[in-house]
Structure 1
Amino acid sequence: MEGTSGRGQRGLFARKELRNNGVVKNVGDSAHAHEAVENATARSVLSPRDRVARSILDHGPSSAADLAERLGITPVAVRRHLDALQAAGLVTSREQKVYGHRGRGRPAKVFLLTDSGRDAFYQAYDQLAADALRFISESAGGGERGKEALAAFARSRLAKDKERYQQALGECADTGEKAQALAEALSGDGYAATVKSAPTGEQICQHHCPVVHVAEQFPQFCEAETEVFSQLLGTHVQRLATIAHGDGVCTTFVPKAAVPATNPTTATKKSEEDVSGRNPA
Structure 2
Amino acid sequence: MKNVGEARVTPTGTPQEELATGERSTRNRVARSILDHGPSTVADLAGRLGLTQAAVRRHLDALVADDVVEAREQRVYGARTRGRPAKVFALTDCGRDAFDQSYDKLAADALRFIQERFGGDEAVVAFARARIAEQATGYREAIEAAAPDQRTQALAKALSADGYAATARSAPVGEQLCQHHCPVAHVAEKFPQLCEAETEIFSQLLGTHVQRLATIAHGDGVCTTYIPKISPTADHPADPSTDHAPDIASASTAGRNPA
Range of TM-score over shorter length: 0.5 to 0.7
Structure 2 distance, partners of 1:154, 1:136, is 11
Matches within 5 A, 1:44-83: 47-49=7-9, 73-77=10-14, 80=18
1:167 deviates by 1.0
1:131 deviates by 1.0
Q: 1:177 to 1:259 in 2, by over 3 A?
A: closer
Correspondent of 1:169 among 139, 143, 151: 143
Helix, strand or coil: the match of 1:165? helix
Structure 2 distance, partners of 1:238, 1:186, is 17
1:129 deviates by 1.1
Question: 1:199 is matched with which residue?
Answer: 172
Question: 2:181 is matched with which residue?
Answer: 208
Question: 2:133 is matched with which residue?
Answer: 159
Q: 1:134 to 1:200 in 2, by over 3 A?
A: same
* Residue 252 (str. 1) matches residue 225 (str. 2): yes
1:249 deviates by 0.9
TM-score of the aligned structures, taking structure 2 as reference length: 0.54
Q: 1:195 to 1:138 in 2, by over 3 A?
A: same
Native 8 Å contact 2:213 2:225 kept in 1: yes
Question: 2:114 is matched with which residue?
Answer: 136
* Residue 148 (str. 1) matches residue 122 (str. 2): yes
Deviation track 1:53-77 (CA, whole Å, cap 9, x = no partner) reads: xxxxxxxxxxxxxxxxxxxx43434
Helix, strand or coil: the match of 2:127? helix
Structure 1 distance, partners of 2:99, 2:134, is 29
Q: 1:139 to 1:81 in 2, by over 3 A?
A: farther
Q: 1:134 to 1:230 in 2, by over 3 A?
A: same
Structure 2 distance, partners of 1:250, 1:83, is 33
Question: 2:162 is matched with which residue?
Answer: 189
Q: 1:252 to 1:80 in 2, by over 3 A?
A: same
**Partner amino acid, structure 2, of 1:47:** A
Unaligned runs of at least 5 residues, structure 1: 1-11, 16-45, 50-72, 89-118, 261-281
**Partner amino acid, structure 1, of 2:13:** V
Q: 1:195 to 1:123 in 2, by over 3 A?
A: closer
Matches within 5 A, 1:233-252: 233-252=206-225
Native 8 Å contact 1:13 1:121 kept in 2: no
Q: 1:74 to 1:134 in 2, by over 3 A?
A: same
Structure 2 distance, partners of 1:228, 1:124, is 22
Structure 2 distance, partners of 1:195, 1:136, is 34
1:206 deviates by 0.7
Structure 2 distance, partners of 1:237, 1:122, is 27
Structure 1 distance, partners of 2:224, 2:131, is 21
Deviation track 1:41-97 (CA, whole Å, cap 9, x = no partner) reads: xxxxx5225xxxxxxxxxxxxxxxxxxxxxxx434349749987xx99xxxxxxxxx
Deviation track 1:105-142 (CA, whole Å, cap 9, x = no partner) reads: xxxxxxxxxxxxxx9599782111111111110012xx
Unaligned runs of at least 5 residues, structure 2: 27-96, 234-259
Structure 1 distance, partners of 2:101, 2:142, is 32
**Partner amino acid, structure 1, of 2:8:** P
Deviation track 1:134-173 (CA, whole Å, cap 9, x = no partner) reads: 1110012xxxx41111111111111221101011113335
Q: Number of residue pairs matched?
A: 162
Correspondent of 1:178 among 139, 143, 151: 151
1:258 deviates by 3.5
1:13 deviates by 1.6
**Partner amino acid, structure 1, of 2:162:** D
Percent identity between the aligned chains? 58
Native 8 Å contact 1:241 1:249 kept in 2: yes
Q: 1:201 to 1:123 in 2, by over 3 A?
A: closer
